[in-house]
Amino acid sequence: MPPSIRELPDELISQIAAGEVIERPASVVRELVDNALDAQATDITVRLLAGGVRLVQVEDNGVGIDRADLSMALKRHATSKIQALEDLESVSTMGFRGEALAAIHSIADVTLTSRQAQDVHAWTLDGASGELTPGSRVTGTTIEVRELFYRTPARRKFLKSDATETAHCLESIKRHALARPDVSFSVWNEGKLLAQWKRSPSSNAQEQLNARIQDVLGNDFMLNSIELHTHAQAPASAVQVLGRVGLPDAARSRADTQYTFVNGRFVRDKVVAHALRSAYEDLLHGHKQPAWVLFIHIPPQRVDVNVHPTKIEVRFRDSREVHQAVWHGVQHQLSQPRSAQPAPSVPSSSTGSPSLTDAAQAAAIGIPTPLASQTQQPMVWPEQNGLRQDWSMVAEPSPGITTHASNSFTSQQPWPLGKALAQLHGVYILAQNAQGLVVVDMHAAHERIVYERLKAQADLMQQETGLASQPLLIPVSFNATALEMATAESHRLPLQQLGFDIDALTAQSLVIRAVPVLLSASNATELARHLLADLAQHDASTVLERSRNDILATMACHGAVRANRQLTIEEMNALLRQMEATERSDQCNHGRPTWRALSMTDLDRLFLRGR
């Protein structure tokens, strides 16, 4: 006989639900802090014992719970936050499912103490006995959760060391703290203060947010990130994005500083992650992970938060609009050359001895505003006369741009990247700007400039003739491998669209008759060989769409000025001016930085001047 069907007892239902909502002590912390925030607390204290397994206590100064409601708070599907299905459409509180306290109550010992403003004293509810006794505390609520998972030992076995569980709890509070700079948080572990983030006295929301991000994520993150606020770019958009994004060259191998919030709720979201990955495309070195803290604001009707019991996932009604807003906002901000930004005004780092990297980092930051990019200085080019022919692609004046003699440059002129002084070992350009010294990796910088130009040209011409091509006065031939022969033959059309005319000369040699105008100064054979090697890996028909940027990057790399080339001062200045005018010129195509700066203050620090 199969067993008959019976309804499960209430407590078992809660224990089953608890399996989804409460994974570890950090989940209890998350739920209790969510509740405190929903109760409009401005001061929240979390106390932990044994990684939160022995105790998670959350104390808040919120509105409190009415004595008559105390026992209701522990019931399943009991909430004060929604009443009808329509309310779900526009829910603005962190909680609404009414199951967290019930779930926790079913797998731990819970005590609730609460007092409302009009009460003469607090009331304490013992969850286990249901007994209500007078308690003592000021207005607000204290919830104590002891011996988590004592009734579900299987769960308890999955827990890691106390230190690991404590770290997870702290991480959970960090997320809340980032989302709510208007609330003070204190975290105590084993009786010792572990972290404290005070609400900032500033009434300016942006300042408040920056202060909190600095408190929670540290100076390093501030120095290596830039502010983002899409309102200035697209004031009418329903989706607004603000926060800070990490500079590409500060990206790290671990994805441990990636915070996405949707309407104040920490989420993990594939759409947002993909938009960010695209925005950092060809700015990151290797498999580095960018850092970000992004707050996405979207009308509540356009996002469903009731997707997952822990609400860590959301579903956007129109994921394209969110993708677009994030991608556009982030890539716009990252593409602003920092050399075009006003000089940074950062308090010098309070810790550690002066170091080159500190100084360079400090100099590299700046808070770009869309305004700054509009008021960028007019581009001025040194005269082309006297420049070596093979440098012409850098010095070439663009249409409609004033041409100036480079020797009219004086130190009063506010060139962000300064005036070239010398070349160091054929690799670096040293320049002097108003703040101090600028060091430029000339190959990396030139590579980015050529790449951006190739991309811009390719965009313009994609549908039509392809990249502008220049016939060589004297065609160049070279001995080719069988693969090179075959690739040249099968990729005739893509090669033409990229501006090349390459043909078989004999059974074992190729002849180059034309190259892209932008690369006419490069070593044609070297360029062709690298390009053929690249093309050999792609199917001819998809080359132009899918791998266009990869191929342009190969061309830029082999077309850009190599190390160990002696440049004249005019050539160096031409490169600096070109960098100032090129998007994304702060990183080469592989995400390495193209320039660093040391201000006079940094240099003085290095030499202990004025101490």
142: nearest Cα among 264, 43, 18:
43
3-state secondary structure 125-149: EECCCCCEEEECCCCEEEEEEECCC
Name which of ligand ADP, Mg ion, none residue 266 binds, using a CB cut-off of 5 to 8 Å depending on partner kind: none
Question: What is the rounded (10 degree) CA torsion for 283, 288, 294, 296?
Answer: 80
Residue 80 or 335: the one with the smaller Cβ distance to ligand ADP is 80
Cα radius of gyration (the chain) = 31
123: nearest Cα among 210, 207, 64:
64
Residue 28 or 553: the one with the smaller Cβ distance to ligand ADP is 28
- What minimum distance in Å lies between the beta carbon of 94 and Mg ion? 7
d(CA 397, CA 480): 37
- What minimum distance in Å lies between the beta carbon of 32 and ligand ADP? 7
Name which of ligand ADP, Mg ion, none residue 98 binds, using a CB cut-off of 5 to 8 Å depending on partner kind: ligand ADP
Tokens of 168: 């997870």
- Which region, judged by CB under 6 A, interacts with ligand ADP, from 58-66, 386-394, 507-515, 555-563? 58-66
- Which region, judged by CB under 6 A, interacts with ligand ADP, from 93-101, 302-310, 326-334, 576-584? 93-101
Binding status of residue 56 toward ligand ADP by CB under 6 A: no
CA distances 20 to 100, 168, 229, 315, Å, are 10, 17, 36, 19
- What minimum distance in Å lies between the beta carbon of 129 and ligand ADP? 19
- Which region, judged by CB under 6 A, interacts with ligand ADP, from 89-97, 440-448, 488-496, 601-609? 89-97
Binding residues for Mg ion (CB under 5 A): 35, 95, 100
Contact positions with ligand ADP (CB under 6 A) in 139-168: 141
Q: Which residue has the tokens 């790449």?
A: 451
> Which residue has its beta carbon closest to Mg ion?
95
Could you say which of 35, 210, 361, 457 contacts ligand ADP (CB under 6 A)? 35
Name which of ligand ADP, Mg ion, none residue 441 binds, using a CB cut-off of 5 to 8 Å depending on partner kind: none
Could you say which of 17, 101, 177, 495 contacts ligand ADP (CB under 6 A)? 101
Residue 62 or 337: the one with the smaller Cβ distance to ligand ADP is 62
- What minimum distance in Å lies between the beta carbon of 101 and Mg ion? 7
Instruction: Report the length, in residues, of the chain.
Output: 611
Q: Compute the half-sphere exposure of residue 3: CA atoms within 13 Å on the CB side of its CA.
A: 3
- What minimum distance in Å lies between the beta carbon of 143 and ligand ADP? 6
Residue 65 or 125: the one with the smaller Cβ distance to ligand ADP is 65
Name which of ligand ADP, Mg ion, none residue 418 binds, using a CB cut-off of 5 to 8 Å depending on partner kind: none
Name which of ligand ADP, Mg ion, none residue 60 binds, using a CB cut-off of 5 to 8 Å depending on partner kind: ligand ADP
Residue 95 or 248: the one with the smaller Cβ distance to Mg ion is 95
DSSP label of 341? S
Binding status of residue 97 toward ligand ADP by CB under 6 A: yes
- What minimum distance in Å lies between the beta carbon of 129 and Mg ion? 23
Phi, psi (deg, nearest 5) at residue 267? -135, 160
Binding status of residue 15 toward ligand ADP by CB under 6 A: no
Contact positions with ligand ADP (CB under 6 A) in 66-85: 73, 78-81
Question: Which segments of 178-283 are extended strands (E)?
Answer: 184-189, 192-197, 225-229, 240-246, 258-262, 265-267
Binding status of residue 98 toward ligand ADP by CB under 6 A: yes
Tokens of 271: 């759409």
Binding status of residue 185 toward ligand ADP by CB under 6 A: no
Helix axes 162-179, 205-223, angle to 10 degrees: 130
Residue 141 or 166: the one with the smaller Cβ distance to ligand ADP is 141
113: nearest Cα among 138, 95, 94, 93:
138
Q: Which residue has the tokens 């030139």?
A: 446
Name which of ligand ADP, Mg ion, none residue 227 binds, using a CB cut-off of 5 to 8 Å depending on partner kind: none
Residue 95 or 309: the one with the smaller Cβ distance to Mg ion is 95
Name which of ligand ADP, Mg ion, none residue 595 binds, using a CB cut-off of 5 to 8 Å depending on partner kind: none
333: nearest Cα among 586, 577, 590:
586
Contact positions with ligand ADP (CB under 6 A) in 259-288: none
Name which of Mg ion, ligand ADP, none residue 62 binds, using a CB cut-off of 5 to 8 Å depending on partner kind: ligand ADP
Q: Give the Cβ contact number of residue 486 at 10 Å.
A: 14
Q: Distance from first CA to last CA of the chain, Å, rounded?
A: 90
Is the Cβ–Cβ distance between 216 and 177 less than 8 Å? yes
Give the interface size with ligand ADP as a residue count (CB under 6 A). 22
Burial-class residue 342 by CB neighbours within 10 Å (0-12, 13-18, 19+). Answer: middle
Alpha-helical runs (H) found in 350-441: 356-364, 370-374, 392-395
55: nearest Cα among 196, 216, 165:
165
- Which region, judged by CB under 6 A, interacts with ligand ADP, from 92-100, 129-137, 352-360, 549-557? 92-100
CA distances 180 to 29, 228, 291, 374, Å, are 16, 18, 19, 32
Name which of ligand ADP, Mg ion, none residue 476 binds, using a CB cut-off of 5 to 8 Å depending on partner kind: none
Residue 97 or 323: the one with the smaller Cβ distance to Mg ion is 97
d(CA 97, CA 507): 74
* Interface with ligand ADP (CB under 6 A): 31, 35-36, 39, 60, 62, 64-65, 73, 78-81, 95-102, 141
